[in-house]
Amino acid sequence: MATSIRIKDHWAEQRMFLRRVIVAGLIAFFLVTLVFGRLFQLQILEYDYFSAQSQGNRIRVQPVPPTRGLIYDREGRVLAENVPSYQLELIPEQVPDLEATLARLVEIGLIDGEEVAELQTLIGTHRRFDSIAIRQRLTDEDVAQFAVHRPRFPGVEIRARLARNYPYGPAVAHAVGYVGGISAAEKQELDEAAYAGTSVIGKTSIEDAYESGLHGEVGHAEVLVNARGRIMEVLGGEAAIPGGDLMLTLDVDAQLVAWDALAGRRGAVVAIEPRTGDVLVFVSAPSYDPNAFSAGLTRKEFRALQTDQDRPLFNRALRGAYPPGSTIKPMLALAALHHAALDPDDTMYCGGYYRLPGKSHRYRDWKREGHGPVDMHDAIAQSCDVYFYDMARELGIDRLADFLQRFGLGTTTGLDLRGEKAGLVPTPAWKRRAFSRREDKVWFPGETVITGIGQGYLLATPLQLAHATAVVAARGERYRPRLLRGRVNLDTGETEYGQPERLPPVAIDDNAQWDRIISAMNAVLQGERGTARAVGRDAPFTIAGKSGTAQVFSVGQDEEYDSEEIEERMRDHALFIAFAPLEAPRIAVAVIVENGESGSRTAAPIARAVLETYLDTSS
């Protein structure tokens, strides 16, 4: 036995194995006893408790979706609310044959045949015992229709739910946004438990940006249901915490006036309060009916919106980048004053075109015969291009670009919405980066010249233009534009206002230079020869403004611009910026009408209507 070689001892091994088998048997017996103990605890000791939960009645834990927060305008008028509506819901576990059930629902006209495939995917992404909304906003007829056929649809029920309603519809759609069904992609990212029982989510603008606050917190209810699953009594649970109400900076009166004034044309109107950054008007047209989305749009309807030539879903105010045209002239004039590039009182002769020294190319003025002798004041009031061609050359592209950037062009303004576009302020450095072909990387002097009248590569969004205008109105002070004015405190019911956020101001050496520019802008509307004098003439308050016309279609060297012959979509964009009153400006506005041809004729009246409405109704 003491040898190092172990010999297989069958008898010893068998005894050892027997011991092990007995130990294993004992462990197994112990584990069964453990489960038995647990059964004893549940079925004997806690029998009364569990029996009460199940006896005769049946308890179901249901999510209680929170009520979505309301959205108000700055005066407390409701922009988004929740109204009761009926929807069709389906619990997969209780449906014997899903395909046949959906087919029957198509048959009685409650769902669209084209949606079936989509609904099946939707149902596939839910748990079998979840209640899934398959059709929203049922009409009374739909409800009656379903009631008749109810026995044929086990597992399908009509539920009263709250649906989002937007009283002002398309007019505020691009500012407030809309809610719609939660997509598969969104489902991946959000916390499913937090959205149990909720079938919609904020898709764009405010509804999207403040989704987490508007949504609230889901609650749950333990409910007693009878054998058919109908709720008999709510036993307990936890109440949902409703989403917080938001107060926006918008002024609905002015917003509606802007919407009506655009009269269905493509364009955008943005107005900002210069001393706070409050966005008073935020219109993009054409628009869409946000109520259609919360009602559940069919794929076909959505596709129609997406492929519409006029792009109603596109938020022009936030994302439309347009050449700003002559509207940037006041800012450039300020740059020239700041850098002492010229004497504002010197006059220069405008003969209708401009030539760079030693070049033959003619840069034309919009007025063919020219403006004659003009100083800086006249050049702004009459929008003389030649004066600004020369000023741009004098300033140079780098100083010119730098000054425009100080007004917030070329970068996002930081408005509290997602997806804002930055526009573009071109510089030689940008051109080197942006182009790949060597001959394209060169910055030509002529490109500086046309940047002087807001053409060329220069692009700005309506929001950026309104912001820049507000900066001029506030004489250099800058505030971050915002749409959220305050949140309603759930406990006290009081609105807690957010503080305006100051941005680095546009600082110039001599503040009197602001007054010089603003006076010239005043002359645009209320001077003898201003481009928009027809619009400003009988205004009950003082206005400063500037018209702009941006080329969509470039006109050849010696051709005439003949609007009659040019297709509607090739016509110039009309722009206008304005603020009022001069002394203590309360509102600054930027208007863009796509293919509106003339800033002073098409865009300026819209701007004036907005100013007048806001100054009239707010005090």
Q: Which of 403, 404, 359, 367 is nearest to 385 (CA)?
A: 367
Query: Applying CB under 8 A, does 405 fall inside the site for another protein?
Result: no
Contact call for residue 231 and another protein (CB under 8 A): no
Taking CB under 8 A as the binding criterion, the range among 31-39, 162-170, 274-282, 561-569 that sits at the site for another protein is 31-39
CA distance 489 to 502: 25
- Residue 349 within binding range of another protein, rule CB under 8 A: no
Among 1, 2, 147, 193, binds another protein (CB under 8 A): 193
Q: Which stretch binds another protein (CB under 8 A): 24-32, 178-186, 290-298, 550-558?
A: 24-32
Contact window for another protein (CB under 8 A) among 13-21, 258-266, 277-285, 379-387: 13-21
Question: Using CA atoms in the order 11, 13, 18, 24, what is the torsion angle rounded to 10 degrees?
Answer: 180
- State the minimum distance, in angstroms, from the CB of residue 125 to another protein: 13
Residue 197 C-beta: closest distance to another protein, Å = 8
Q: Catalytic residue among 199, 326, 383, 598, which?
A: 326
Q: What torsion, rounded to 10 degrees, do the Cα atoms 122, 128, 134, 136 define? A: -120
Determine the interface stretch with another protein among 55-63, 164-172, 324-332, 546-554 (rule: CB under 8 A).
55-63
Nearer to another protein, 16 or 231 (CB): 16
370 close to 352: Cβ distance less than 8 angstroms: yes
Q: Quick one: three-class SS letters along 98-135?
A: HHHHHHHHHHCCCCCHHHHHHHHHHHHCCCCCCCEEEE
Site for another protein contains 232 (CB under 8 A) = no
Encoded tokens for 194:
């937090």
Q: Where are the alpha helices (DSSP H) in 425-546?
A: 428-434, 445-451, 462-473, 512-526, 533-536
Q: CA-to-CA distance for 83 and 342, rounded, in angstroms?
A: 62
Return the residue of 2, 185, 227, 512 that touches another protein, per CB under 8 A.
227
Q: Which residues of 118-145 are buried (b: 16+ CB within 10 A; e: fewer)?
A: ebeebbeebeeebbbbbbbbbeeebeee
Count Cβ atoms below 10 Å from residue 223 Cβ, excluding itself. Answer: 20
The 149-188 contact track toward another protein, x by CB under 8 A, reads ----------------------------------------
User: Is the omega angle on the peptide bond into residue 581 within 30 degrees of 0, that is, cis?
Assistant: yes
Residue with the two structure tokens 């003025």: 365
Separation of first and last alpha carbons in the chain: 110
The secondary structure element, H or E, covering residue 587 is strand 587-593
Binding mask 117-156 for another protein (x = CB under 8 A): -----------xx---------------------------
38 binds another protein (CB under 8 A): yes
Q: What angle do CA 366, 371, 374 make, to 5 degrees?
A: 125
d(CA 263, CA 547): 20
Q: Of 1-9, 242-250, 310-318, 453-461, which part binds another protein (CB under 8 A)?
A: 1-9
Amino acid at position 218, single letter: V
Which of the residues 254 through 283 are near another protein (CB under 8 A)? none
2 binds another protein (CB under 8 A): no
Q: Is 32 in the site for another protein (CB under 8 A)?
A: yes
Total length of the chain = 619
233 in contact with another protein (CB under 8 A): no
Number of chain residues interacting with another protein (CB under 8 A): 52
Could you tell me the two tokens for 309?
């030539």
Q: Does 6 bind another protein (CB under 8 A)?
A: yes
Q: Is 326 a catalytic residue?
A: yes
Does residue number 220 form part of the binding site for another protein (CB under 8 A)?
Answer: yes
| The one segment of 32-40, 167-175, 290-298, 350-358 that binds another protein by CB under 8 A | 32-40
Task: Tell whether residue 217 is a contact of another protein (CB under 8 A).
Answer: no
Site for another protein contains 42 (CB under 8 A): yes
Q: Contact between 40 and another protein (CB under 8 A)?
A: yes
Instruction: Rule CB under 8 A: say whether 92 interacts with another protein.
Output: no
Binding site for another protein (CB under 8 A): 6-9, 13-14, 16-18, 20-21, 24-25, 28-29, 31-32, 34-36, 38-40, 42-44, 46-47, 49-51, 53-56, 58-61, 63, 93-94, 128-129, 192-193, 196, 218, 220, 225, 227, 229
Catalytic residues: 326
